[in-house]
Structure 1
């Protein structure tokens, strides 16, 4: 699924600020993964889009998942999205350890 250009621009600007050490106003903690995992939320033409990222690492920001919120269970995020974020966080930890730690 492709994100709308406006959403890509909004997320890109916010993530650029994150890379410079800022916390965007629209960032909020992502529940379930603990400190250092946040989400950006962007509403566009009646749809909600999310970008989940981590700032747990001193030298890198990892975007774990971008998706359109389409949960059949109402307000809850689909379990498949939650599982994907969890798995990608593990991969980010492995990547960081292999490429940024001495």
Structure 2
């Protein structure tokens, strides 16, 4: 996130802090194709482009940021397939990491 424009970093940071506090950020939308409201997307426009951050709130003790990127395509609003696959992979890793952390706490 450090490479994002300052206004985008501020917006995403505020939204992610709200998510950590259990509050739904007003700029968050459910990312379709992930089985419910557990994977959300933040979208922010800047003069240099459109930026997205995808995170999950499926776990009660953590918010995992799965992917942050600049949308390159000028056509359509769909998230590119390669980004969706990366998000799926990182979500699976987050689930494993969280499951492992839960077992260590037990």
SS at match of 1:10: helix
Consecutive unaligned residues in structure 2, runs of 5 or more: none
**Runs ≥4 in structure 1, deviation > 3 angstroms?**
none
Which residue in the other structure is 2:12 paired with? Answer: 11
Superposition deviation, residue 53 in structure 1: 0.4
RMSD value over aligned CA atoms?
1.6
TM-score (norm 1): 0.91
TM-score (normalised: structure 2): 0.88
1:50 to 19, 39, 52: 52
Does the 8 A contact of 1:59 with 1:100 survive in 2? no
Gaps of 5+ in 1: none
CA distance in 2, matches of 1:11, 1:83: 22
> How many equivalent pairs are there?
101
User: Residue 88 of structure 1 aligns with which residue?
Assistant: 90
Matches of 2:53 and 2:33 in 1, distance apart? 15
